[in-house]
Amino acid sequence: MSNSMAIAAVTTTLQSILFLGVRDELGSGRITTLPLDKARSKEEGNQVNLYLYHTAINMGWKNIPKPARPKGTMEKPPLGLDLFYLVTVYGEKDSEAKSHRLLGRVMSILHDHSTLKAAEIEAATATELPESDLHKQTEQILITSQSLTHEEMSQVWRGFQAQYRASLAYQVSVVLIDSKLPIDLALPVLPRLPDGRGAIAQIFTGEAKLEEVLLPNRQRSAQWGDVLILQGTNLTHPEMQVHLTHSQLSEPRVLLPLPGRTESELQVQLPNLMAMPEAAREWRVGFYTLSLVIPREHGRWSSEAWPLAIAPQILSVDPLMVSAGAVTLTLTCTPPVLADQVVSLLLGDRGIPVTEVEALAEENAVTELRVQVRDASPGIYVVRLRVDGVDSIPVDFMARPPQFAANQTVVIVE
């Protein structure tokens, strides 16, 4: 899913990636997004200019319905776009040697970034485009180089009456913008019952609808104790519940709406496992489906299910400072990690499988993990725990601005 800010979000993300990659070579220079005839008007320092020179409808998506739409719906497909960028570099004081050095670095960066990752998009747009939701798009956004001939490149420059300069052309695709038209939902077909009896239909007037699940701090997964905001229509039914279903739990976990809900919004809170240790043994880290449920005389009514990832919570890491070389780290986490779960320690950009797991006293409802790290190099490392594909969130959101949590940052010294 993505809204009309998608094009601006792509440009902002590319600008951020280039800046982070070339800032050493760039020095006091800038990454600009100016038309070709204005890119170098008053600049003297190192400069990389990123210019969106063409957009096109992606024909492959023009007539494709939106993925994973509910059965029986008629929905206008999303607008698929291909974006074409021209990257031009300028050396400090028009030095060609410095421009060539920048050019090589830019080509290397974009070669290594064949896709725009959701985390990169979210980080780049958090300040300037907080309403952008391009990071939620399920379809991959690919970056591919374009082999424009010298004549084709010259035509682009001639259109701006600007002096030609060697440039790089890239295509970013596919960028999807959701349609704002309402969905037409068809009624289901009622099958006949055995022995020729007619079908039984139960009518529920004022059907509730779940349209969005919002997590705090624009998180990609929920944390224990988080308040989730559910948006939709007709959400005030007095018996409404929120069910979280996990494939390895025999029964769904039931949450009740918090006070103060409206027709269009309600809130539920995940249990704080440190304050409620007895609840920790009833939950698992991993992927759930969330749905609205209303009990009825015969069975129950349930809304369309939404995916929800719930992350493990690291409680402590020991030691927080250690000498380089072979390192043993001990982590405690909640809820308890079970024997059939796949666990890895993420130390910086390294992934280390966890094989030694010890369940602590049952009343604590936590697990202790001991991880051997070979050839640990000096540096400051943020520690994360990945359980069944869901990563812990090592961020202290109470700090202003938010920063990595001190109790999940390990310093490795010489």
What is the per-residue pLDDT across 309-326, written as a single tens digit (0 to 9) for each?
999 999 999 999 999 999
Give dist(CA 309, CA 288) in Å, integer.
6
CATH number of 313-413: 2.60.40.650
DSSP 389: T
pLDDT score, position 245: 94
CA 323 → CA 91, 235, 378, 409, 414, distances in Å?
42, 55, 8, 14, 6
Would the CA dihedral through 35, 36, 42, 46 be positive or negative? positive
Which position has the token pair 């809820």? Answer: 335
What is the per-residue pLDDT across 244-259, written as a single tens digit (0 to 9) for each?
999 888 899 999 999 9
Q: 320: burial class by Cβ within 10 Å (0-12, 13-18, 19+)?
A: middle
Contact 208, 237 (CB under 8 A): yes
Beta carbons within 10 angstroms of residue 361's beta carbon: 8
Give dist(CA 226, CA 44) in Å, integer.
49
pLDDT score, position 72: 47
Q: Which two tokens stand for residue 248?
A: 């390895």
Contact 232, 240 (CB under 8 A): no
Give dist(CA 357, CA 367) in Å, integer.
7
Positions of the chain with pLDDT under 50: 67-73, 185, 187-188, 201-205
Task: Break the chain into its structural domains and give their ranges.
Answer: 6-177, 206-310, 313-413
Fold for the domain defined by 206-310: Immunoglobulin-like (2.60.40)
pLDDT score, position 78: 82
Answer whether 206-310 and 313-413 agree in fold: yes
Give dist(CA 71, CA 79) in Å, integer.
21
Q: What are phi and psi of 122, to 5 degrees?
A: -65, -40
Candidates 81, 85, 87, 88; CA nearest to 141 is 81
Candidates 345, 339, 344, 295; CA nearest to 317 is 345
Q: 349: burial class by Cβ within 10 Å (0-12, 13-18, 19+)?
A: exposed
DSSP 112: H
pLDDT score, position 54: 93
pLDDT score, position 68: 44
Q: Which two tokens stand for residue 188?
A: 């289901």
CA 232 → CA 211, 250, 269, distances in Å?
5, 28, 17
Fold for the domain defined by 6-177: STM4215-like (3.30.2000)
pLDDT score, position 358: 61
Contact 207, 263 (CB under 8 A): no
